[in-house]
Amino acid sequence: TTAMGDSVVDPARGTGLEQAAGSTPQGNGGTTSLSVITEGVGELAVIDPEVAQKACEEVLEKVKLMHGVSSDSLSKVGAGSEAPRPAAALSNGELGQGCEIKCLDDPAAVASRIQEEGEESKANTVRSARKRQKDNSGKQSWLLRLFESKLFDISMAISYLYNSKEPGVQAYIGNRLFCFRNEDVDFYLPQLLNMYIHMDEDVGDAIKPYIVHRCRQSINFSLQCALLLGAYSSDMHISTQRHSRGTKLRKLILSDELKPAYRKRELPSLSPAPDMGLSPSKRTHQRSKSDATVTISLSSNLKRTASNPKVESEEEPVRLAPEREFIKSLIAIGKRLATLPTKEQKTQRLISELSLLNHKLPARAWLPTAGFDHHVVRVPHTQAVVLNSKDKAPYLIYVEVLECENFDTANVPARIPENRIRSTRSAENLPECGITAEQRAGSFSTVPNYDNDDEAWSVDDIVELQVELPEIHTNSCDNISQFSVDSITSQESREPVFIAAGDIRRRLSEQLAHTPTSFRRDPEDPSAVALKEPWQEKVRRIREGSPYGHLPSWRLLSVIVKCGDDLRQELLAFQVLKQLQSIWEQERVPLWIKPYKILVISADSGMIEPVVNAVSIHQIKKQSLLSLLDYFLQEHGNYNTESFLTAQRNFVQSCAGYCLVCYLLQVKDRHNGNILLDADGHIIHIDFGFILSSSPRNLGFETSAFKLTTEFVDVMGGLDGDMFNYYKMLMLQGLIAARKHMDKVVQIVEIMQQGSQLP
Amino acid sequence: MAQTEKKGGLLRKSSTSKKPLKEKVVLMYDEIFTTEDPSKCNPRFWEELFLMKVNLEYLEGKLEALDGEELMKIKDNINCLFQHCIQALGEEHPIRVVNALQTLCALIRGVHQKNKSTSGFDIINMLVGFDKAELCMKNLMESLDSLLCAEGSESLKSLCLKLLLCLVTVTDNISQNTILEYVMINSIFEAILQILSSPLSRREHGYDAVVLLALLVNYRKYESVNPYIVKLSIVDDEATLNGMGLVIAQALSEYNRQYKDKEEEHQSGFFSALTNMVGSMFIADADEKISVQTNEAILLALYEAVHLNRNFITVLAQSHPEMGLMTTPTSPIPVMPVTPLGTTPPSSDVISSAELPLDADVQTSNLLITFLKYSSIVMQDTKDEHRLHSGKLCLIILTCIAEDQYANAFLHDDNMNFRVNLHRMPMRHRKKAADKNLPCRPLVCAVLDLMVEFIITHMMKEFPMDLYVRCIQIVHKLLCYQKKCRVRLHYTWRELWSALINLLKFLMSNETVLLAKHNIFTLALMVVNLFNMFITYGDTFLPTPSSYDELYYEIIRMHQNFDNLYSMVLRLSTNAGQWKEPASKVTHALVNIRAIINHFNPKIESYAAVNHISQLSEDQVLEVVRSNYDTLTLKLQDGLDQYERYSEQHKEAAFFKELVRSISINVRKTLAFNTLSQELLLKEFSTIS
C-alpha cells in the first residue's frame, strides 16, 4: 500500500482526461472522483482520501491506461516541471512520489522528505485530518504540510476557512492569506467578507488582519471592502452583533485610519513643483493653470478665493471621500433619471447632469472596474446613453482617465478647459487609427494662448483657413484629398479645373457605402447607436474631442451605472463565470464566455463593466430587420469568407459556453434584450438577475434549461451542419470539465448563501 | 420728463416718510449749496449728514437748478461732499454707507445733467477736483470693490452696482465719460467676476453685474487698451463663466416667456375677434402688437462674452433647466454636504452643488437654445430700430458661433439632440407647426431652421439687406465646417434650397426698387455660391446620394429663376454701369448652375417625348438626373469653402457705438430713483441699528 496513496492519483486523473477528451463517462468510482479532483496532482490524495481509496481499488485495472494518460496529463497539467522525469518513473510504484516531488518544487523539498518518512499512514491521517480535526499533532502536521505545499491555492484556503471549525486552522489560513497573490485573493473577496460578516468570531478574527493589511496597501481595495461590507450587511437585522462587526470594519475603513503610513508627509514636498501641467496634488478652486498668462487677473482673485470654503485645508484629505462622492453623484443621477417619463428626457437630463459633474473633475476618483491605476479626468457627457429598461434608468457613461503609476502617490491631473482641444493630428498622439470615410477630420487646431488684443478672433485664423491642410485626408481611400488640393492650386495657376458631376455623385455613394453599418438613431432606444459604434472608433473620436486627448496616458473606460438593482447576484454570477472560464481554459475546452466585472455599491446599486462592441440581439433585429443569419452575412460577408467562418465559430463557441452557464446557474429571464452579440460574432448573456431557481415574478414556469432558438441554429448552419455537431461536442466537453471541478464552483455559491437572501 | 417723474416721486415720498427728518436733511443740503464751509459752524456736520435719510430728489433737483458758473462757485463744498461720501463708505455703520452711496448717485447725476455740454474733465473737476481726483477715485473704487466682495448685506451690494451703473451711464456716449478712466485704472473686474461665480450673489445681482461689465467693455473700445476687454478675454474659470451664462440665459428666457404669455393672451383675444370678423389679413396686424421690450444690454453682454472669450463658447452648450417655467427660486442653494469627517476634501466639489432642480416637466435647455428661441422672436419683426438692432446683434453672435470650432463641434454633435421650439411667424399659407411633433435633432438644425425662417419671412419692401447678408454668411460658415469635418447632417436641405431660390426670385422681381438702395449682387453672389458649394462639394457633407439628386432636381425645377438671374446680370455686366463688376461676378458664379440646367433640360424633354408624358413626375426627373450625371462636366470654382472672418473693429464699430448709446440711455432710464432709495433697504438697516 505504500505506493497506493500516491498512485491513486493517476487513475483518477486518467478518467478525468478521458472524459474531457470526449469519451463516455467511466465507472462509478471515476465519476465520484471527478467531482473532487482539483488541478494539483500530488496533493490530490491528501485532500480527498475517500477518492484515493476508491481509486485504489481500480488501480490495477487502470494500469494499462496509466501509461498513455499520465504522459498526456503531464503536458496538460504541467505543474511547472520537466516532463521526462515522471515518465521515467511511471513504470514503478514510485510514480506518485515522482509526481509529488515534481509538484512541490521549492518549499516542498522538505515536505516531500517528510512525506517519505510517514508514507504508510498517509491516507489514514489525511482522512482524519479532514473529518475530525482533533488535536492529533501528526494529523495536524499533514494538514500543515498541505497548507505549506505549493499546491495549496486560494480556492482551497477559502474552502478550509469555510468548512473548518478549528480556530487554529482558521487563524493559520488567515495568516496564509498574506502569501497569496493579491489578485487571487481579490477574486474571493466577496466570500471572505461575507464570511467575516456572517460567520462566527473566529473566522472573522482570522480574516480581519489580512483585510486591514490590504486596505492599508490599496485604496481601491479599501473601497471595494467598504462597499461590499455595506452591501452584504444590509439584509440583516440592525441590532445583531455580527452586523455591527461588519459595519465596524466598514467604518474603520471609511474613517480612513487605514491610511498607509508612508504616504503621510510625502505630498507636501511634492506639491511645490508642478511638473508639466500636473497640478500639485490637490485641486484648489483656482487651479494652477496657465499662470503665466493669467497672473494679472488672478492676483486679486486669488486673495478672494482664500475665503472660499472649497479651498482645501492644509491637512491631508480623506482618501476615500472624493471617490465616494463621485460614486454617490453617479448614483444620484441614476435615481433622478428614474423619475423622468421618456427616454428622451432621460437622455437630455443625463447629459446635462454629467456636464455639471464634469466641472468637478479631474478628481481623486477612479473606476474600480478598471484594471489599472488612474484618475478620472472627464466624462464626455454627450456620449452617455440611457439604456433600455422598463422602470429603472441604468445608463452607460464613458469616462476619460489618465493612467498613473500609483494612485496613492500620483497627483491629480490639472484641469484643462473644455475647449482647449489640441491638435489631434500630430503623429505622436494618434498613431494610425482606423480610417473610415466618415472621419471627422476636424483639424482642431491648438487654440492659441489668449491673444490679449481686443480682437480675440485674430486675423491669422483666416490664414489657417485658407491653407486648409489637405494632407489630412490623404490617407482616405477616396480622392477628395486631391480635390481640395486642386481647389488651392488652382488659385495659383489660373487654369480652370473641370470635374465630372458623375464623380461627385459616385464619391458620395461610395463613401456612404464604406462607412461601417451603423444603426439609425432611435429616440426610444438611444443606446443602440452608441453601442454599435466600434469601440476603437469611439475611442478615437472621443480622444479627438477631448482636451486631455493629447496626453499619452489618456485612456477611455466605460461603465454602466445601475440604480435600484441588486448587483450582488450579478457579482456571484461573475465569479461563477470567471471560475468556469478558467476551468475550461485549464481543461482546454474552447468555450468562450465573457464575464463582465461588477462593482456592488450597495444592496440596490452598482456599476457594471460594459461589454464593448456588442449590441443586444433585440436591437439588431429591430434595427436591421434581418434574421440573425442574414445579419451575420451582412456584417461578416458570405458563407465561405474567412470572416464569416470565424464569426460563426465564435458564435458556436460562445453559444455553447453560455448554454452551459444558463444550465448550470439556472439563468432565467432569457430574452433577446439580455443576449448581446459582439462584433466578432460572440454572443454574451447579460443580466443574471434571475439565477438558481428564481425567476421573473409571473414567469415561474420558465422551464427550458437554456435558450437555443432555431435562429441560433441557423447561424450554426442548421441542425445537420458540422458546426452544430461541433456545438454539441463543445457542450459535452464543457459540461464534463465543469463537473470535474465542481467544488470550485459550488464553493463560491455556498459561502455566499450565508446570511443572505439568495435562493 | 425726468422732472415730472421726480415730482411724482417727491409727492409719494412726502406722504410716506416722516417730515421732520426730511426737513433736517434738506437744511443741511442747503448749507452745502452755499459758498461757506458747512463744517465751520458745525464740526460734526458731515458725520451727521450721513445719518440722515437721503433726499435724492431734492439734492439732484438742487444741483440741476444751478447753472455751470453757480456750480463752480460751490465747487469746494461739492468736492468736500464727494470726499466725505467716499470716506463714509468705509464706515462700519451700514446706514452711513447706504446714505453715502445714494448721495454719490445723486451728485453724479445732478452734476452731469447740468453739464451736458461741458467736457468730462470739467465734471471731474467739479465733483472731485483735479488735484485730488486720482486719490479720491482710487479710494472710491477700492471701497466699492471691497463692499462688493465682502460678506455683507446684499442690498448694499446692489446699491454699489447701481452706483456703478449710474456712473457708467451718465453720458449717452460712454466713451466720452472721462471719469470712467478711473474705473479703468482701478479695476473692479474681479469683483464683478466674484459676484457671478457665487450662486447666491449671482441670483441677486447677476443681471446688474453683467450689464455693467458689458458697458465697461465698450468704453473707448477701439481707441485705447481697455483692461476690461483684456481681462474678460482671458477669464477661464468655469464657475464664473457659467454664472455669466446663467444670468444671460435667465434674462433671455424671461423675455421668451413674457412673449409667449402675451402671444397666448393675444391668440385667445384673436379667436374671439375671429368670431366677429372674418379676415385672415388680421393676423399680421395682430401680431405686430405683441411686442415686449427687447433687452439689448443682455444681448450685448452675450455678444462680448462670445466674441471676446473663447472659453465662453463651452458655456453655450452648458445645460440648464428651462427657466421660463420656473419661478425664481428664493431659497438658498443647499450648502455642500459635509464629508464624514467634516473636512473638505479636494474634490468635495464632486458633489454637484448646483444640482439641477428635479422636475419631470422641465425640459433641459442650454444658453444656445434659449438664445435661438430669443432670436427667432426678435428677428421676426425688424421694423423698429430697437428690434433691428437686436436682430442684427443676434445674427452677429450667431456668426461668431458659426466660426468657432468648438461651437461647431457641439452644434453638430450627433449625441446632443434637442427640440428647439423656434418661434415662427404666423403666415397665411402655412399652419403653425405643432410644437410636440418637433424632432429631436442636433442643434445646428435649429440654427439652419432659424436662417431658413428668416430668409422666407423678410422679403419685403424695407429689405433688411445687411441682415440677409449675415444670414447667408452664417449658413455658409456652417457648410464650410461640415465640408471640412465631413459631417453629414441629416437635414432637409430642400427647405434651404427653395428658400434661397425664392430669395433670388424676390431680388429679381424687385430689382429696380432694391438697386436704388443696395448692392443686391453681393447677396445674389453669396446665394449662388452656396449652391456651388452644394454642387461641387456635396459629396463631402450631404447625407445621402439621393440628396445630391434632389439638389439637381430643385435647380432644374426652378431653372426659370436662374435663367432670369443670368439674363439680368448679363445685361448689367455688359452695360458699363456701376454694377458692371459685381454683376459679372455673379455671371461667372452661375456657370455650373447653367451647365446643369443646360445639360439636363434637353434630356428631360427628350425623355418626356420618348415616353409621351407631358408632365414628368419627380421620380421620373430624378431618374433622368441619375442616369445622366456622367456626361456633365462642372467647373471647380475657387474659394468656395473659405470665408472672411468676422471682425468687429473694421466693420461694425459704428453699429456698436450706436447700440451702446441706446443701451446707456435705456439703463439710465430704468435706473429709477425708487430702485436707489428702496424703503426695503432702510428697513433692513434700521433693524440692525
DSSP per residue over B170-232, as a string? SSSSGGG-TTHHHHHHS--HHHHHHHHHSHHHHHHHHHHHHHHHHHHHTTTTTTS--HHHHHH
CA distance B384 to B377: 14
Smallest CA-to-CA distance from B204 within B219, B194, B218 is with B194
H/E run at residue A561: strand A554-563
Residue type, B613: I
Inside any domain, residue B273: no
Residue type, B250: Q
Cα Rg for chain B, rounded, in angstroms? 30
Q: Residue window 468-487, chain B: list those with CB within 8 Å of chain A.
A: 480, 484-487
Domain span including residue B128: 24-186+658-688
Q: Residue B339 and residue A310: Cβ atoms within 8 Å?
A: no
For B254-266, give one letter per residue: b (16+ CB within 10 A) or e.
bbbbebbeebeee
Q: Residue B194 and residue A321: Cβ atoms within 8 Å?
A: no
CA distance A655 to A659: 6
Q: Residue B356 and residue A353: Cβ atoms within 8 Å?
A: yes
Extract the C-alpha cell encoding A508.
458620395
Q: Please answer whether residues A385 and A346 qualify as being in contact, where contact means their C-beta atoms are separated by less than 8 angstroms.
A: no
Weakly modelled stretches of chain B, pLDDT under 70: 1-23, 113-121, 267-292, 319-364, 426-437, 672-689
Q: Please answer whether residues A557 and A370 qualify as being in contact, where contact means their C-beta atoms are separated by less than 8 angstroms.
A: yes
Residue A651 has pLDDT above 70, yes or no: yes
Identify the DSSP state of A609.
P
CA distance A555 to A403: 7
Cα Rg for chain A, rounded, in angstroms? 31
Extract the C-alpha cell encoding B410.
457641439
Task: Assess whether the previous peptide bond of A362 is cis (omega < 30° from 0).
Answer: yes
CA distance A417 to B237: 9
Q: Please answer whether residues B374 and B647 qualify as being in contact, where contact means their C-beta atoms are separated by less than 8 angstroms.
A: no
Domains contained in chain B, number: 1
CA distance A234 to A194: 11
Inside any domain, residue B67: yes
β-strand A554-563 against A605-608: which pairing, if any?
antiparallel
The sign of the CA dihedral A559, A563, A565, A567 is positive
Q: For residue A445, what pLDDT is reported?
A: 33
Q: Number of residue pairs across A and B with CB atoms under 8 Å?
A: 297
Q: For residue B360, what pLDDT is reported?
A: 40
CA distance B397 to chain A (A): 13
User: What residue has cell string 479631474?
Assistant: A362
HSE (side-chain half, CA atoms, 13 Å) at B102: 29
CA distance B400 to chain A (A): 9
Residue A703: pLDDT band with limits 50, 70, 90: low
Residue A273 has pLDDT above 60, yes or no: no
Using CB atoms, which residue from A348, A457, A497 is nearest to B364? A348
Using CB atoms, which residue from B237, B630, B645 is nearest to A457? B645
- The model's pLDDT over B113-126, given as tens digits with 9 standing for 90+, comes to 665 555 666 778 88
What's chain A's average pLDDT? Answer: 64
User: What residue has cell string 474681479?
Assistant: B190
- The model's pLDDT over A179-231, given as tens digits with 9 standing for 90+, comes to 787 777 888 888 888 777 777 777 777 778 788 888 877 777 888 888 887 77
Q: Please answer whether residues A433 and A560 qualify as being in contact, where contact means their C-beta atoms are separated by less than 8 angstroms.
A: no
CA distance A739 to chain B (A): 48
Q: Please answer whether residues A231 and A607 qualify as being in contact, where contact means their C-beta atoms are separated by less than 8 angstroms.
A: no
| pTM beyond cutoff 0.90 | no
Smallest CA-to-CA distance from B411 within B436, B440, B443 is with B443
Q: Residue window 519-558, chain B: list those with CB within 8 Å of chain A.
A: 535-536, 538-540, 542, 544-545, 548-549
For A194-232, give one letter per residue: b (16+ CB within 10 A) or e.
bbbbbbeebbbebbbebbbebbbebbbbbbbbbbbbbbb
User: What residue has cell string 491528501?
Assistant: A46
Q: Report the DSSP beta bridge partners of residue A451.
A: none
Using CB atoms, which residue from B350, B484, B646 is nearest to A365? B350
Q: Residue window 336-355, chain A: list those with CB within 8 Å of chain B.
A: 336, 339-341, 344-345, 347-349, 351-353, 355
Angle at B95 between CA B89 and CA B101, to 5 degrees: 45
Residue A369: pLDDT band with limits 50, 70, 90: confident
- B125 contacts chain A (CB < 8 A): no
Chain A residues lying within 8 Å of B320, measured CB to CB: 352
How many whole angstroms from its chain centre is CA A489? 53
Q: For residue A755, what pLDDT is reported?
A: 62
ipTM: 0.71
**Domain spanning A613-753: which CATH class is it, in words?**
mainly alpha
CA distance A573 to chain B (A): 32
Q: Where are the domains of chain A?
A: 145-254, 319-408+525-564, 613-753
- A454 contacts chain B (CB < 8 A): yes
B340 or A154: whose pLDDT is higher?
A154
CA B405 to each of CA A120, A545, B536, B543: distance values in angstroms, whole numbers, following the listed order: 83, 11, 23, 21
Q: For residue A87, what pLDDT is reported?
A: 35
A707 or B626: whose pLDDT is higher?
B626
Q: A319-408+525-564: what fold? A: 3.30.1010
Identify the DSSP state of A431.
-
Q: What is the CATH number of domain A145-254?
A: 1.25.40.70
Using CB atoms, which residue from A294, A505, A530 is nearest to B629? A505
| A180-194, A540-554, A657-671, B282-296: range with lowest mean pLDDT | B282-296
Mutate to test the interface with A, among B480, B539, B622, B642 (most CBs of A within 10 A): B539
The sign of the CA dihedral B553, B557, B563, B568 is negative
How many whole angstroms from its chain centre is CA B465? 20
Extract the C-alpha cell encoding A706.
437554456
Chain B residues lying within 8 Å of A339, measured CB to CB: 358, 360
Mutate to test the interface with B, among A293, A397, A508, A546 (most CBs of B within 10 A): A508
Q: Please answer whether residues A656 and A734 qualify as being in contact, where contact means their C-beta atoms are separated by less than 8 angstroms.
A: yes
Residue of A nearest to B489 (CA): A438
User: What residue has cell string 445674427?
Assistant: B395
Q: Residue B234 and residue A452: Cβ atoms within 8 Å?
A: yes
Using CB atoms, which residue from A256, A456, A500 is nearest to B233? A456
Chain B residues lying within 8 Å of A484, measured CB to CB: 641
CA distance B424 to B427: 9
A470 or A362: whose pLDDT is higher?
A362
Mutate to test the interface with B, among A325, A439, A468, A478 (most CBs of B within 10 A): A325
Q: Please answer whether residues B535 and B482 qualify as being in contact, where contact means their C-beta atoms are separated by less than 8 angstroms.
A: no
Q: Please answer whether residues B465 and B507 qualify as being in contact, where contact means their C-beta atoms are separated by less than 8 angstroms.
A: no
Chain A residues lying within 8 Å of B225, measured CB to CB: 454
Q: Report the DSSP beta bridge partners of residue A615.
A: A677
CA distance B531 to B537: 10
Identify the DSSP state of B110.
H
- B335 contacts chain A (CB < 8 A): no
Angle at A477 between CA A472 and CA A479, to 5 degrees: 75
Using CB atoms, which residue from B226, B538, B635 is nearest to A496? B635
Q: Residue A504 and residue B318: Cβ atoms within 8 Å?
A: no
Residue B272, Cβ neighbours under 10 Å: how many?
9
Identify the DSSP state of A430.
-
Q: Please answer whether residues A147 and A172 qualify as being in contact, where contact means their C-beta atoms are separated by less than 8 angstroms.
A: yes
Q: For residue B363, what pLDDT is reported?
A: 57
Smallest CA-to-CA distance from A34 within A582, A735, A748 is with A735
Chain B residues lying within 8 Å of A385, measured CB to CB: 415
| A60-74, A371-385, A390-404: range with lowest mean pLDDT | A60-74
Q: Residue A360 and residue B349: Cβ atoms within 8 Å?
A: yes
CA distance A663 to A656: 11
Q: Residue A312 and residue B354: Cβ atoms within 8 Å?
A: no
CA distance B306 to chain A (A): 10
- B614 contacts chain A (CB < 8 A): no
Q: For residue B50, what pLDDT is reported?
A: 82
Chain B residues lying within 8 Å of A529, measured CB to CB: 414
A633 contacts: CB under 8 Å, gap ≥ 6: A639, A644
H/E run at residue B61: helix B56-65
Residues in chain A: 759
How many whole angstroms from its chain centre is CA B504? 30
Q: Please answer whether residues A556 and A610 qualify as being in contact, where contact means their C-beta atoms are separated by less than 8 angstroms.
A: no
CA torsion, points A114, A117, A119, A124, in degrees to nearest 10?
Answer: -80
Residue B517, Cβ neighbours under 10 Å: how many?
10
Inside any domain, residue B604: no
B499 SS3 class: helix
H/E run at residue B441: strand B441-442
CA distance B272 to B290: 17
Smallest CA-to-CA distance from B480 within B566, B383, B411, B387 is with B411
Residue A21, Cβ neighbours under 10 Å: how many?
12
A368 or A3: whose pLDDT is higher?
A368
Chain A residues lying within 8 Å of B314, measured CB to CB: 417-419
How many whole angstroms from its chain centre is CA A325? 23
Angle at B123 between CA B119 and CA B125, to 5 degrees: 115
Q: Please answer whether residues B202 and B157 qualify as being in contact, where contact means their C-beta atoms are separated by less than 8 angstroms.
A: no
Extract the C-alpha cell encoding A378.
472627464
How many whole angstroms from its chain centre is CA B182? 27
Q: For residue B426, what pLDDT is reported?
A: 66
User: What residue has cell string 474567412?
Assistant: A642
β-strand A614-616 against A598-602: which pairing, if any?
unpaired
Q: For residue B534, what pLDDT is reported?
A: 92
A640 SS3 class: coil
Q: For residue A704, what pLDDT is reported?
A: 62
Q: Residue A450 and residue B234: Cβ atoms within 8 Å?
A: yes
Q: Residue A497 and residue B630: Cβ atoms within 8 Å?
A: no
